[in-house]
Structure 1
Amino acid sequence: SGSCCQSPTRAGYDSARSIGFAALVNVVICSNSLHISLHLSFLSFSRSLSLYRSGDYGTTYTKLNLMPGTTIIVTNFYICPSNKRKVILISSTINEREQMLFISTDEGASFQRQPLSFTLETLLFHPTEEDKLLAYSKEAKLYVSTDLGRKWTLLQERVTKDRVYCLQQVNPSPLCVFPGHLYVTCLIQNCSDKMVTAQFLGKIDHNSLSVQNDYIFVKVTTGNRTKHYISYRRNEFVQMRFPKYALPKDVQVVSTDENQVLLALQEWYQTDTYNLYESDPQGVYYSIILENVRSTKQPEENVLIDVLEVRGIKGVFLANQKEDGKVTTLITFNKGRDWEPLAPPTTDMNGKPVTCKQPDCHLHLHLRWADNPYVSGTVHTKDSAPGLIMGAGNLGSQLVEYKEEMYITSDSGRTWRQVFEEEHHILYLDHGGVIVAIKDTSIPLKILKFSVDEGHTWSVHNFTSTSVFVDGLLSEPGDETLVMTVFGHISYRSDWELVKVDFRQSFPRQCTEDDYDSWKLTNLQGEHCIMGQERTYRKRKESSLCIKGKSYTSALTAKPCQCTEKDFNCDYGFERAPSLKAEGDHCFPDFWHDPDAPPDNCHLGHTYESSTGYRKVVSNVCEGGTNKEQSAKQHSCPLLPPRGLQLGIKGQMLTVAPGDDITFVVHQEQGDTSSTRYQVDLWDGVRAIYENLTVTDEPIQHRYEKPGVYRVSVQAENSAGQDRATLYIQVTTPLQEVHLEVVPIAGRNQLVNLTAVVLPADANLTVFYWWIGDDLQPKLTLENSLLTRFPEEGEVSVTVQASNGRSTVQDSKTVRVYGEMESSVIPLSFSPNLDRFNPNIPEWREDVGRVVTKILVTGVPQDSLVTMVKPGLPTTAQLYVLPPEGVPAKRSVFVDKVHTLFHTYTQTHTSTQKIPVQQGCVYAVNRCAFTVEALHHGSLLRPEEDSLTRPWLRFRKLPGRNVYAQMHNEKEQEMTSPVNHSDDTQNIIQGEEFIDDDLDSQTLGNGGGTSTSLL
C-alpha cells in the first residue's frame, strides 16, 4: 500500500493504553514489510485494506467501512485527553491525492468524514477543552479548530515542526507557537501578527523550545557559548544557573516531576558521559547529584541518558555510571541525594548460593528503552505496581553488554531475585497481580510464562498451536485488566496473527482486605524514613488467588518523619566533599562562589539570606528535627554599585546598514537599578537620561542615517559607584565573539602586547580594529595582535573589534598605566596537574588569578597585587605589584621595598622550583593545595647591583583551604655563600600578620645560609 505508514510514538502508545474501551491494535502493512502504525480498538489487514473494531477484548471483530467504494489508508490517530470517547483518524486515498479526517465521538462505533483543504502532518488536542485542536501542515502552517476538526482557521505561517504546544495555565487557552527562530504566544481566538506576544527577547536556537509540565526551555548560542533559559509557570524567562565552569556542551531534560527539574548536562571535558543535576522549584539554580552518567548517541542526533525514573514510588531512580571505562548501576531512594550500587541476590534462579559478594560484586542492569513501543524495555516499572521492578543485566564488577539475565524486586530495589537466564518482554496485568513474560528472541514462539506471586514461581502457557514471530504485547483497558493480546506473524509474508489471552478464569473472586499484606518502603541501609516519611504499601498474599480490580490502591499509609541531615542536599554553588573524612558529609562552597554576596535582585530596603550551603530535597516532607537551612544569615540589601553593565543591539550584530532601525538593549548583571541614573550617548548628537527605572523596561530605538563609526555609551551611576559600557557601531552593510587579552598594568611607554582571541577560531578574512583611550581613530591590523605603548599615566580603556564583513564583535579591558614599572612582575607557574582542568577561557583565568592573589602573603598590601593567568597550556601566570593609590610611584618607601623584594629575588633564584597543585581539586580550589613557583626572568636582573637579601613569597592559609608552597632551589647544593636579610625585607616578612604558626615549614636555601619557613 505504498509508503504511507508511520511509526507510532511512545507517547501515542501511552495515550492509547489509557482509553476507557477495549483496544487492540491497528496494523498497516507497507509494501512487503510489516510495520505497526496505529493502536486503537481496530484491526487492519493490508490485503483487504479493511478496518475492524472489537468491543469485547478482541474476541469478535466488526468490519468498519469508513468510505464505501473507496480504498483509503489510515496513517495516524489521536485521542482527546479530556474525553477519550472522541477519536480522530487521519487517512488518505491510496494515491494520496486526497486527505481527510474521520471523527468519532462514541469510541469508534461510528465516524464522520471531514475533508481537509491542507496537507496535514500532525494534530494536537487542547489539554482541557475537548473540541479545540491545532493542526500543523507540511507547508509549516498552523491551523486551529474549535469544533473537533470540522472547520479550520489559519493561525500562523513559518511555524517550526514539533515545537507547537497547547498549554493549560491561569490565562485562558494560550498557545505557544514558534515561527522562525522566535518564541511567541497568542490566544486561540486571535493569533494575527499584531496579537502575537514575544515571550523571549531576541532569537533562540532552532528547535530549542521545549515545554514540560510547568517549565519552558529555550537556548541561545553566541559564538561557541550557549546560554539556557527557563520559564516557570509561563512567567518571564530566567537564565539557568549551572556551576560556573560546567560550560555545558549539551543539556538533556530527564524529569520535571514534583516541581523540580532533573537534567543531564554534558560538561566541556566529557564525551560519552553526562553529569546529573537537580534544580530548585523554579528550575533556575542547579546542583550536581551524580557524575559521569553513561550516554548513547542515537540516529538523528538523539541522545539517550542511562537514567531511569522508577514508576510507582517517588524519588527512586536508577542510573548507569561510567568511570574508568567500567559501567556500574546505582540506585537512589531520595531523588539523587545518595546513590548506592544494587545489592546482588543471595541465590540464583535455581536456589543455589551465588559467589557475588559485596563490595567487589553487585547487580548491574541495562537501562535501555525498547525501540518497539509494544514491548517493554530492559527495565520495566509501572505506576500501578509500586515496588515491582524487572530488569535485564548481570552480576559482577561491571555491566556486561551481552549478558541479559532477568532479575526482579518487589521491594523497590532493596532485594533482588534472578528469574530467567535470558531477556524477556514483560507485561504487568491487574496492578502487577499477574506478570507475563515472553522471551525476546528472533525465532518463532508458542509459549509464554506468567507469575501470580511477584515472580517467585512461574507457569508456562501455550498461547498458540502454531509458533509465531511475536511483535508485541497489549493489555487493555487500563491497569486492572486481566486480558492481553499477543500479536505477530507466522512468516514475513503472512498476515497478522492476534491471540487473546484471558487470565480472568484463574481468579474466581475479587480480593478483600484479608487478602492483603503490608510492606514498608526501606532503603539499602534499612532506613524507613525516606523523602521525609515512612510509606507503607499493600501487596496481595501469595496464597490469595483474587482480582485486585479497578478500586485497588497500593498506597496504605504515609507518616511524616523528623528531618535529619539526609533530608538536605548541597545548595547552588556548593559541593559535597565525602573524601574529606574529617569534615564528614558536609557541603563546601566552590572557589568561584561567595555565599554571602547579595543576589542580583537584591534591592535597597529589602533583606536576603546567605546560604548555609544546604537546601531541603524537593518533595521531601519531613517535619521538625534538624533544619540545615535555619542558620542562614539575614542581611540587609546594601545599595550596590552598578556592575556588569552591558550594551547590545536586539536581534542584530554590531555592523548595520544606514537607515536600519536599531534597538539598543542595556543589561546590568549586578547592582541596584531603581536608584541608578543611566546616561545614554548615541554619539550622533542624541543623548538621553533614565532615572528610577531599568533601561531594559524602555529599550532605546535609534536609526543612523550616515555611514561611520559611532561610539555609543551608557553610564550607570549611583552613590555607591558607577559603571560604563561602550559599544562601537559600524554603520555599513553587516564574527561572533572576541576576547581581549592584555596585561592589567603597564609602565608608561612600556611595550605592551594586545591579543584578540576570536571565536570561532577558524574565522578567516578578519580585520581587527583597536581603540586605545578616547581616540576615535582605531588602529587596523590583519593579525590578531598589536604592540603598543601607553604614553600617559592613569586608566586607559582598550577596545578591540573583529570584523569579517558579515558580523562584528568586540571586547574591552582597562589597563592601569604607571610611571615606574621596572621589576614589578614575577612570572608564576603551576604543576602539570592543573592543565587537565584548564578550559582555556578568560573567566577561568580571571577566577584562578583572583584566588592566587588572595592566598599570596608577600608583605605587600593585597590591594597592590594582581595575578594574571596567561592563555594556553601549560598554565602560567604573572604576579603584578601595583603602587599604592595616591602615593607617587617614584619616591615612595613602598616602591623601594618592592624594588628590594624583586631585585633580591632575581639575585638568588636561578632555576625553576617544582610546586604541586593537588590532582582532582581544581573545581574546589578552596579545598586544594594551591602552590605557586617563581621563575627566574633575565629582564629583572640588574648587573650593577650587588647581592642583596632573598625575599620569599608566602601563601595565606584561608579557612577551608589547604595551601602550601615550597620554594627551595633545585641547585641548592651548588650554593656556597650565605645570604643575609636586609632590614627592609626583614621588616616586610616579620610584619606579615597572616602567617599561621602551626603550618608545616621547610628549610630553604643551602645549609649554611639563613632559612625562612614558607607557608
Structure 2
Amino acid sequence: MVEKWSVFGHISYRSDWELVKVDFRQSFPRQCTESDYESWQLTDLQGEKCIMGQERTFRKRKDTAFCIKGKSYISALTNKSCQCTEKDFNCDYGFERSHTEGERCFADFWHDPDSPPEDCHLGQNYESSTGYRKVISNICDGGLNKQQSTKQHSCPLLPPKGLQVGIKGQMLAVAPGDDITFIVHQEQGDTSSTKYQVDLGDGVRAIYQNLTVTDEPIQHRYENPGVYKVTVKAENMAGHDEATMYIQVTAPLQEVHLEVVPIAGRNHEVNLTAIVLPTEANMTVFYWWIGDSLRPTLTLRNSLLTRFPDTGEVSVTVQASNGRSMVQDTRTVRVYDNFQVVPLSFSRNLDRFNPNIPEWRDDIGQVVTKILAKITGVPQESLVTVVKPGLPTTADLYVLPLDSKPAKRSMFVDKRIPAIMQAFSDNNVSFVVRGGLQVLVMLADPNAGLGLIANDSTTTAAENGYHGAAGSPGVWALAVIFLISIIATGSFILYKFKRKLPGSRNVYAQMHNEKEQEMTSPVNHSEDTQHIIQGEEFIDDDLDSQTLGNHSGVVLSINSRELHSYLTS
C-alpha cells in the first residue's frame, strides 16, 4: 500500500477544483519486508508460461501482510527466454497459411520464393525464403528455426525496374530561366552496371553511370516557353526501363480580358471569349462562372457558347490558370426579350488608328453612343455601341427598349428608329481622331433591314411587320408621300365641306392667314426636322387617335414647305 494519495476533482458540477490528500501511515504502521511478498508467474489463458519467447516472474504482497510497499518497490523479479516453437513463427511476405494442411504456409500465386531481394547486387548471395519468419518482438532462442533456409543463390544481374524521374520541389510548371533539378530513382534492378540516357526535350542529351547510386542531380534551365518531354532510359545487359515526364515552361499570366456583347436576347446563343496576356501563353485552363452558379464550366479553349434563360443583368466571370498563376475578369450582360441591332461601319481612315485592343474598342463605342444621343435626342441609356474586333472596323448599335414602355406594345411607331436612321443617312454622326482626321459613322448597308431580336412570347404582328418596313429609305419615302396624299385629300374634302357651312369661310380664312404668317420667315429643312424629332418624347403613339381636324398633329408629321404648298394650292 502506498503511504499517501492525492486526489484532484470537483465536489459538484458548479464547484472549483478540489485537492484531497489521504495519508495511510496511521493505518499501516510499518514498511513491507521480503517476507511480506510472494512470487507469481505470468501465464496466458491456456496456462502457457512462455509468452513472446520469454518467461516472466513477478512478486506481490501477501494478503495477510498489513504493511506499506514504499517508493522502492519493484514488481518484476526475473525474465527468462525460452526455446522457439511453432507458435513463434508467422507466414513470410508472399506466403499464406493453409487451414486445410496443418497450418502450413504456402506461396501465393503471384510470389516467387526464389526471386532475389531488391538489395541483391551482382556478386552477392541470398537465401530463398522458407515461407516463415519470427513474430516481431519475439525473443525466443534455440529450439525450432523455421525461417532458416538451406537454399543458397547467387545474385544475378537484374534489369532496371521501377524507374522514376521527378523535379525537386514537385513543380511541373516553371517559368523561362528557372533552375530545375531532376531526380532519378530506381526501385529494383542492378544500378552499378546500368547506364542512364537522359533527354531533356530541348536538344540536350547526356549519359550517366551509377546515377541512382551516387544521387547525382541533373540541373537544367529552359529559356523558351513550351512543353518539353523529359525522358530517362536505364539499360544494362539484362534489360531496360524508361521514365517520362512533361515540363510546362510558361510565363506567369498578366491579364485576361473577357469579350462578350453587353446586350443579349433571352435564350439566344452568346459567345464568350477570353483574351489572355501574354498571347503566347499555352496550356491555359479557363473557368467560366455564369450568374450565381458555384459550379464553373472548364474548357481548354478560350471561348464558350452559352444562353441566358432569364432577363435582367447577369454577371459573367472567367478565370484563366496555367499552373503558375491565375487571373480573372468580370463582365455584366443585360438580357432583354427584344431589342434592335443596327450594323454600322466607319470610314476607312479609322483602320489606321485601330490597335485591335478591347480598351480602344470600348472608347470608340462610347464616343459613337454619346454623339448619336446628342444629335437625335434619344436617351443615351437606351443606346449601346459595340465595336467588333478585327479589320475593317465595324460596330453594332443596340437600341434597347425604354423602361417606361410596356413590354408588348408595338414597335412600329417607335420614333427613335427613324431619328437614328435619318442621322446616319444625313452623315451627321462623325468624330475627330488624332491629327484632326474626321471619321464618319455610317450604316453598314443602307438598303438592308434592321436586326430585330425578339422572343416568340413577346413578338406581336406589328413587330414582325416592322422588320422589313424599317429597312430601306425608299420605302420610307413612299410611306411619307402616301401619308401626305391622304392628308391633302382629307383637307380638300374638309375645305369643300366647310365652304357650304354658314360662317365657316371666315373661320377657315382666318386660319389660312395665320398659317401664311407663320411661313413668311425662312426655315431650314434639316433644322426644322431635327427640332420636330427632338420635341417628341420617343414613346409609342396611337396613330388612329390623330384626326384630320387636329392641325397641330398634321404639322408635326410634315415639314413647313410641304404645308405651305398645300395651303396655297
TM-score computed with the length of structure 1 as normaliser: 0.25
Structure number with the bigger relative contact order (C-alpha 8 A, sep ≥ 6) is 2
Q: Which structure has the larger Rg?
A: 2
Name the one with the larger helix percent: 2
Name the one with the larger strand percent: 1
